[in-house]
Amino acid sequence: MLSKTGIAVLDALSTGREATAQELAADTGNSRKQVYRVVDEMIEAGLVRETRGHHNQRVVRATDDPVVEAYRRLASKLGHVEWPELLSPATIRVCWFLDEPRRVTAIADRLGITRQAVHKALSPLKNRAMLDPAGPEYALADDLRPLLEFARAVVAHEHRVRVRALAPSATVEWCDPKRALVRVHDPEDTDTLQSAEDWELTGLARFRAYGLRFFLAGEPAFWYAPDVPLTPADVVCHTLVLDADSRRTSYALLLIEQEEIDREALTETATWYGVEQTISQMYAFIDEDIEAGDEGGVRLPSPGEYAALKDQYGVA
């Protein structure tokens, strides 16, 4: 995660200027030793690049990474705010969840931290009237969309750097601060992640754990969520996030019925992935409340096709 010093360095370089470590130390109020360490980390993460200047001095400038571009938009639209003073890694993580009103308890549960820690991370935003409280729920004010975009770019970047250190072909398909759903495009990367700690197969490749085996057209998807159990509800949502075509929707329906996944639990899980409408339509299909087709944008099989699929895989 981008540190406070890293945010200060990013802020100093966001205008496109070049700077030496000595200049960045003066700009950010950090020691040269601290700046060197952070700059080295940012070079490795692809956020800055280095050249040699006068007397062979190290000179750095920001790249065009999505994190850098998101910060530039934030500084451009809300330049009156001293973002390096306001933002911390904890605040950035909490900001990821503030696209809509959310309870502190829900954020704490997703991050695996205490409610007090969430309140502490929110306090710089509260103190500057940047939150729209709605009862016990909090969301970013409407004009702070660039802050949300920056927080999400930082989180996605952290996951992308982590997975590509192991699997260079990987792309992040969905993430939050603690979890990432990735797809790989090279068989060697599949082998690497299958044997890597903290990574699990998910999507259609995971269905075999429930007695359902399907042909995979490409490399499987993987899930990163250390110490968080991978549930059948998660697997259904991952399958739909990766591709909600009629084939995957049909297979997800099979898993819902095979595992008798609780509707309320799956619907709650789906809200985090943005597929709650799809899940609602799928349960309506199971209840025979809607016909097949592209109902609400969800591609569903015909009742006959689905009945044949259930017979094929022995799903009651």
Domain boundary among the residues 151, 184, 204 is at 151
Specify if 163 maps to a domain.
no
Specify if 196 maps to a domain.
yes
Specify if 262 maps to a domain.
yes
Specify if 160 maps to a domain.
no
Q: What is the pLDDT at residue 113?
A: 96
Backbone angles phi, psi at 140, to 5 degrees: -70, 145
Cross-strand pairs, 52: 58
Mean pLDDT of all residues in 195-209: 95
Strands (E), the chain: 19-20, 48-52, 58-62, 102-103, 137-138, 171-176, 179-183, 199-202, 221-224, 293-295, 298-300
Specify if 161 maps to a domain.
no
Residue pLDDT, tens place only, 42-79: 999 999 999 886 777 889 999 999 999 999 999 999 98
Q: Which domain holds residue 74?
A: 66-151
Residue pLDDT, tens place only, 128-160: 999 987 668 999 998 999 999 999 999 999 999
- Do residue 300 and residue 259 come from a single domain? yes
Judged against a pLDDT cut of 90, whether residue 254 lies above it is answered with yes
Torsion, Cα of 23, 27, 31, 36 (10° steps): -60
- Do residue 55 and residue 72 come from a single domain? no
- Do residue 244 and residue 301 come from a single domain? yes
Specify if 282 maps to a domain.
yes
Specify if 131 maps to a domain.
yes
CATH number assigned to the domain comprising residue 43: 1.10.10.10
Domain boundary among the residues 123, 151, 179 is at 151
- Do residue 272 and residue 290 come from a single domain? yes
pLDDT cut 90: percent of the chain above it: 79
- Do residue 133 and residue 175 come from a single domain? no
Lowest mean pLDDT among 6-10, 87-91, 281-285: 281-285
Which H or E run contains 159?
helix 145-164
- Do residue 32 and residue 137 come from a single domain? no
Q: Which two tokens stand for residue 163?
A: 């997975």
- Do residue 19 and residue 76 come from a single domain? no
- Do residue 183 and residue 269 come from a single domain? yes
- Do residue 73 and residue 110 come from a single domain? yes
- Domains of the chain: total: 3
Judged against a pLDDT cut of 70, whether residue 292 lies above it is answered with no
